[in-house]
Structure 1
Amino acid sequence: MSQFANPGVGTFTAWDYVVFASLFVVSSGIGVFFAIKERKKVTSHEFLVAGRQMFCGPVALSLTASFMSAVTVLGAPSEVYRHGASFILFCVAFTFVVIFTAELFLPVFYRSGIASTYEYLELRFNRLVRLAATIIYILQTILYTGIVVYAPALALNQVTGFNLWGSVFATGIVCTFYCTLGGLKAVLWTDAFQLVVMILGFLTVLIQGSIKLGGSSNMWKIARNGQRLNVFDFNVDPLRRHTFWTLAVGGTFTWLGIYGVNQSIVQRCISCKSEKHAKMALYLNLLGLWVITVCAVFSGLIMYGYYVNCDPWTAGFISASDQLMPYFVMEILGHLPGLPGLFVACAFSATLSTVAASINALATVTYEDYVKQCFPNISDKMSTWISKGLCILYGAACTSMAVAASLMGGIIQAALSIHGMCGGPMLGLFSLGILFPCANWIGAIGGLAVGVTLSFWPAIGGLIYPAPASKTLPLHLSTNSCLRLNTSDLFPTSLPTVIPEQMHRPPLADSWYSISYLYYSPLGFLGSLGAGLLLSFISGPRHGANVKPLLVRPFCNLFCFWSEKYKRIFWFGVLHGEENSTEANNENRISDNDLTVKMPPGKDLIDVYSQEAMKAPSAYTPEQQPHSNVGVTKDTYF
């Protein structure tokens, strides 16, 4: 029980509930609108990838909204409040992530004409590699999405009194509803609307918080005195939780595993009408990531300035650090009807966008990687109904996972880093296929297994044997000005009670198991890539004659000073050189039942193939029909 008198914060008023409910009504309305508007387009291609007709604007907004889960809205300001503004260094990581995604991974995925990211793995290696990666992705996404739904609901419930399970099931039902009705277009436009709500929520907190502090100059002064502005820590110790290297380098690998190869992100990019629009969406999204990060950092600094002499976490007014932000919002906005509801809508907008992205991506992967493979002759109408059924199935699974998350206790924090644990090995697997034409399927499977082991080993070990308190303690937090229940007690409390460290710890507990969580992804990446190359060479490197040029972008091409001679060597027999590739494409023919397509100069092969297929559909048997959402089948040679 706390020794301090809790001043208490307000609860929701009728206006707050109206503002919050409006978010769900509008989101559902967008789904209904696109269900009616697109009712005549009944193909899974339209439902899952929006017919590849989206512009860069809504896709960029959707990418930003999907990044900004409620974990960011609630967790990032709390992180800055307790550990300082070094969180801003994620902006460096985001810059590298977007550049690598736009220039390295996106061109391969977009030109391949795939709908499922993991379809690439079958084209490049074989079906076994594809299925292994798909299973990892499905489990990762369901687990993470369930936690994204539950964690903010728990934090808001304990601070605002908002019903816990009501918010959990409302989130799951609404996301499933508009995903099922409207498909990817509904998800994209709903994300755009929800991003506007998020920004408004952040701006409301920033403006009102600055007024309470007496201006931004006071915020900077208090933050500087509290050592919250010590951003650049160049200590190379990998056991330090946050340094320049963990945030900039580890953060790059962690987020590249999401942006570069994760289905929910790539699916949005390949829904664009052209590769140029897809790249533009990514670069516009980078601006959004910077804005969101800056807003989160400033919110944390303002919150620290407000509670500099009476920390509610240390004083026991709240039970978890993730509740700091909603507690702060209710204290500074509780007297203004509707504004607390706007912030709650902000947090749940982030949750809705993340969950909707996950449900749609899971449905796409399952349909492309399993349903279509088992039933190749399925009709367009039936494929659409199956896709919608998969959305309902995964919506229920993610919501159920939120229920299970309530029983996990301390595992929730570990699960929040699951993108790093799974994303690193997956990033290594895709990089192996794209950058190294010599890699074969044996190296891909073996490398993935090694990468998963190297990333999960320290993560699970760190969960069982937490890092020493000296590595994770927050900066100074004071309760000097808090009103005490026992006025005779004059000794202030500065920090939360530290539980004594375990006496019996294995040898790796203070080293390997204590490594920063941001290094899980680099470990998985390096393990997957390194082991994959080694096993490929041991088992016999793949000859490039069996690899289509559009499926690879060898690493030697990234270094312009290398001569053409060495570039050809590292292409391992794959047709190399822009001039040669162009000539080969011009000479290449796509034959199916005597249908031959000649490549005109300067014309996109995928476009020509699609146009010829439209002109002569009778030339195909049902088994040879082009992929409904893939411009070029995997039997086509480039």
Structure 2
Amino acid sequence: MDASSPIGFFSVWDYAVFALMLLVSAAIGVFYAYVDHGPQSSGDFLMAGRSMTAVPVAMSLSASFMSAITVLSTPAEIYRFGALYCYYGLSFVLTVLVCSEVFVPVYYRLGITSTYEYLEMRFNRAARLCGTALFVLQTILYTGIVIYVPALALNQVTGFDLWGAVIATGVVCTFYCTLGGLKAVVWTDVLQVGIMVAGLLAVILKSVVRQGGMATILNDAAEGGRLEIWDFDPNPLRRHTFWTITFGGALVYIGIYGTNQAQVQRYVSCKTLAHAKMSLYVNLIGLWVILLCSVLAGLCLYSVYKHCDPWTSGSVSSADQLMPYLVMDILREHPGLPGLFVAAAYSGTLSTVSSSINALAAVTVEDLVKPYSNLTEKQLSRLSKALSLVYGALCIGMAGLASIVDSLLQVAASIFGVVGGPLLGLFMLGILCPFANATGGLAGLFCGLVLSLWVGIGAQLYPPMPSLSRPLALATYGCNGTVGILLNSTISASVSASSLPLGNFSSDLLNANHSGPALVDSWYSVSYLYFSPIGTLTALAVGVIVSLLAGNRKCKSSAGLTLCKEDLTLYCLLRILKEKVTPSAGKLDLSRESEVKEKFGQHNPAFCTVELSTTSYGKTQGPST
């Protein structure tokens, strides 16, 4: 069949389930607009009055992190490359440990609204503006892709209206972000993460029943090489190994959870530091659940199509369409369930887009408006709502641009992947190196950005050879009316290598045709998960060296802007234990606490144990170094 033709169409029940998800999401925005109809400051709108608790924030972190691209692409990744992807579970652990112990205490102590506000406190205004500009650029580009790519995949397989889905997604997100602010975003994320898990579970359970049990699915996966996960090859050119996923992936996600405004804005909105840290640990459970569901869905996908690959046979035109194809194939006799899966995919889109819109409004108000204006809190609140509307329209417009410029998808994905590394290096330089100064920080950011963009864009122009990515074999000999295509088979001269999955071709043939600059087989072939570490380590190294050369080695930043031993959970536990063993030690700690309170203010969120409003806390403006 033609790859552009859908294999099934939505029933009335499917549309009803999808519409219900959109209506409930919009209703949450209306509810919080009504509840908070009184005078609202910009902090109330953007930070939920710093009154959120751990569990909803944790679910929001999980939902905004898992976009529709994750729901559609992760199972396809397992289908093509195997379950090695499960090592991301370890990288999530490292991410949560580092962010909760290193970044959260510093941000929370300072009471910041914009993540990049920290860069001005620690370095200078130029560093803050650079961080803001990079965040705005990558977020708008990525959000447009998040809206468009799932809509395209679902349209080509299910017949779901493409632009109806794009516009409906953008409008609903913008609507509840503009009306309800961060509270509406967080609570819609809670709803949407539940829908995402339910949609994946529906596919998994139906596949298990159809295939005759989970044992059959695991056996099929083992026979197809999908369960071969013991790959400890240290070669940095290999796309996925234990090392690239666990440690390279960890640095990628530390950049997201530690410096990206969309994530940081959530946990600093918690009412206490304990809730902020706990939200990250509860979020870890959510990440594990979604990862497990995605891996199982990928194994089910392979078990169902192990003898008839829809991609190779031409039933779908891209890997992102494999999951919607499976849904319409096995669930179309159950009205409403295909709609549930589409609702799951679009819940990922809604959560990511709403998080992005709210974060873009926050950084614009805090970094680009407040420092240069004398607007009242009421005016800033209205401006925040207007900016949510503007950014929502921009994201929909970017989705339209993505539909007509094919290369934009690759370019935007490269920018989103490589910008986070240098920014992470700059933040780590400020938090971990008291002697670092603005000159070193900006030099490190620039060098890290140049290097990571170089390797990232080079890898897009000259993709690594299949011998490094190692796609697994796919077969079509079980398809009716098709000719089987297996490894080492003869390829028709009329079919181009780029039009079919790489897993179906002889690696010798593809490697022989691989040509380009001298760096193709080395620098440009580095695993994409190392793009961020390259930028991070470069920014750190250059920042340290330039800071030592350009400034006084004994110069230290203002107290509170860097990590201290009191921020570590282990230190706090040891102190509590020491106080119980030797009560007199507590008096010294109390005097130390009074000094810190005097320095940062009695109403700083780090010392509050009750619900706060933005009118009751102060921020520390440390001098530049």
Length-normalised TM-score, structure 1: 0.87
CA contact (8 A) 1:65 1:353 kept: yes
- With over 3 angstroms needed to count, the CA separation of the structure-2 counterparts of 1:419 and 1:555, relative to structure 1, is farther
Q: How does 1:223-242 map to 2 (within 5 A)?
A: 223-242=221-240
Give 5+ residue unaligned stretches, structure 2. 492-500, 572-584
Structure 2 residue aligned with 1:412: 409
User: Does the 8 Å contact 1:20/1:342 carry over to 2?
Assistant: yes
Report the equivalent of 1:632: 619
Shift of 1:418: 3.9
> Do structure 1's residue 521 and structure 2's residue 527 form an aligned pair?
no
Alpha-carbon deviation of 1:549? 2.1
Partner in structure 2 of residue 568 of structure 1: none
Q: Could you say which residue in structure 1 is the equivalent of 2:41?
A: 43
- Cα distance in 2 for partners of 1:63, 1:338 equals 28
Supply the RMSD in Å over aligned alpha carbons. 3.1
Structure 1's 505 and 445: CA in aligned 2 closer, same or farther, altered over 3 A?
same
2:225 is the counterpart of 1:215: no
8 Å CA contact 1:609, 1:631 repeated in 2:
no
Q: Secondary structure at the match of 1:407?
A: coil
Aligned to 1:170: 168
User: Any idea what the Cα deviations from partners look like across 1:487-510, whole Å, max 9, x if unmatched?
Assistant: 9xxx89895468956565110011
The answer to whether residue 237 in structure 2 is matched with residue 249 in structure 1 is no
> Shift in Å at residue 219 of structure 1?
0.7
- SS of 1:513 mapped into structure 2: coil
The one of 429, 432, 440 aligned to 2:429: 432
- Secondary structure of the 2:146 match is helix
Output the amino acid matched with 1:586: S
**Amino acid paired to 1:101:** C
- Correspondent of 1:538 among 549, 565, 584: 549
Task: Measure the CA separation in 2 of the matches of 1:610 and 1:270.
Answer: 14
Stretch of structure 1 that moved more, 380-389 or 550-559: 550-559
Check conservation: 1:436, 1:555, Cα contact below 8 A: no
Contact 1:108 1:551 survives alignment (8 Å):
yes
Q: Does 1:512 align with 2:523?
A: yes
Which of 258, 272, 276 is the matching residue for 2:274? 276
For 2:42 and 2:568, the matched residues in 1 are separated by: 36
What is the correspondence of 1:325-364 to structure 2 with a 5 Å cutoff? 325-364=323-362
Deviation readout 1:470-521 (Å, 9 max, x if unpaired): 323520111111111689xxx8989546895656511001110111110001
Residue 186 (structure 1) aligned to one of 176, 184, 187? 184
Q: Is the 8 A contact 1:86 1:243 kept in 2?
A: yes
2:372 corresponding residue in structure 1: 374
When structure 1 is superposed on structure 2, of 345-354 and 506-515 the one drifting more is 506-515
Residue aligned with 2:519, SS:
coil
The answer as to whether partners of 2:273 and 2:605 remain within 8 angstroms in 1 is no
* SS of equivalent to 2:312: helix
Q: 1:163 to 1:497 in 2, by over 3 A?
A: farther
Q: Which amino acid aligns with 1:18?
A: A
Match of 1:81 in 2: 79
Match of 2:577 in 1: none
Partner Cα separation in structure 1 for residue 20 and residue 516 of structure 2: 52
Cα distance between partner residues in 2 of 1:542 and 1:275: 33
Give the Å deviation of 1:467. 1.4
CA deviations over 1:433-489 (Å, ceiling 9, x no partner): 0000000000110000011112111111111112123323520111111111689xx
Aligned equivalents of 1:474, 1:610: Cα separation in 2:
52
- Contact 1:47/1:182, CA 8 A, preserved across alignment: yes
CA distance in structure 2 between the partners assigned to 1:134 and 1:84 by the alignment:
38
Alpha-carbon distance in structure 2 between the residues aligned to 1:629 and 1:373: 20
For residues 476 and 445 of structure 1, what CA distance do their matches in structure 2 show? 47
Q: Do 1:65 and 1:192's aligned partners in 2 also have CA atoms closer than 8 Å?
A: yes
* CA-CA distance at 1:199 after TM superposition: 1.1
Identity of aligned residues (%): 49
The 1:68/1:589 distance shift into structure 2, 3 A limit, reads closer
Check the 8 A contact 1:142/1:398 in 2, yes or no.
yes
Number of residues of Structure 1 aligned to a counterpart in Structure 2: 594
* 2:306/2:474 contact within 8 Å kept: yes
Asked whether the 8 Å contact 1:440–1:542 carries over to 2, the reply is no
| CA distance in structure 1 between the partners assigned to 2:293 and 2:404 by the alignment | 32
Return the alpha-carbon distance in structure 2 between the equivalents of residues 14 and 20 of structure 1: 10
Select the residue among 64, 67, 71 that pairs with 2:65: 67
Residue identity in the other structure for 2:386: G
Q: Distance in 1 between matches of 2:226 and 2:187?
A: 37
Q: What is residue 396 of structure 2 aligned with on the other side?
A: 399
Which residue in 1 is equivalent to 2:594? Answer: 586
Q: Which amino acid in the other structure matches residue 178 of structure 2?
A: T
Residue pair 2:111, 2:604 contacting (<8 A) in 1 also: no
Cα pair 1:411 1:463 within 8 Å, conserved: no
CA distance in 1, matches of 2:336, 2:607: 55
Cα displacement string for residues 165-198 of structure 1 (whole angstroms, at most 9, x for unaligned residues): 1111111111011000000000000000111111
Query: Contact conserved, 1:93 with 1:248, CA < 8 A, in 2?
Result: yes
User: For residues 297 and 635 of structure 1, do their structure 2 counterparts lie closer, same or farther at Cα, with a shift above 3 Å needed?
Assistant: closer
Q: Which residues of structure 1 form unaligned runs of 5+?
A: 562-576, 592-596, 615-626
- 2:19 aligned partner, one-letter code: A
Partner of 1:566: none
Distance of aligned partners of 1:579 and 1:517 in 2 relative to their CA distance in 1, 3 Å threshold: farther
C-alpha distance in 2 between matches for 1:194 and 1:215: 29
Q: How many angstroms apart in 1 are the aligned matches of 2:549 and 2:568?
A: 26
Amino acid at match of 1:631: G
Amino acid at match of 2:186: L
Q: Which residue of 1 aligns with 2:559?
A: 549
* Structure 1 residue 261: Cα displacement: 1.3
CA 1:156 to 1:492, structure 2 compared with 1: closer, same or farther past 3 Å?
Answer: farther
Residues 88-107 of structure 1 mapped to structure 2, 5 A cutoff: 88-107=86-105
Aligned counterpart, 1:136: 134
Residue in 1 aligned with 2:582? none
Q: Secondary structure at the match of 2:311?
A: helix
Q: Decide whether the 8 Å contact of 2:105 with 2:567 is kept in 1.
A: no
Whether the 8 Å contact between 1:155 and 1:322 is mirrored in structure 2 is: yes
**TM-superposition CA deviations, 1:197-221 (whole Å, max 9, x none):** 1111011111101001100000111
Alpha-carbon displacement from aligned partner over 1:113-154 (angstroms, at most 9, x marks no partner): 100011111111111111111101110111111111111111
Judging changes above 3 Å, is the alpha-carbon distance between structure 1 residues 158 and 543 closer, same or farther for their aligned structure 2 residues?
Answer: same
Q: Is the 8 A contact 2:132 2:363 kept in 1?
A: yes
**Pairs within 5 Å for 1:114-129:** 114-129=112-127
User: Which residue of the partner structure matches residue 201 of structure 1?
Assistant: 199
CA 468–579 in structure 1, closer or farther in 2 if over 3 Å, else same: farther
Distance in structure 2 (CA, Å) of the matches to 1:182 and 1:79? 36
1:409 CA drift (Å): 2.0
CA pair 313-607 structure 1, distance change in 2 beyond 3 A: closer
Is the alpha carbon distance of 1:483 and 1:606 closer, same or farther for their aligned partners in structure 2, counting shifts above 3 Å?
A: closer
Q: Which residue identity does 2:409 align to in structure 1?
A: I
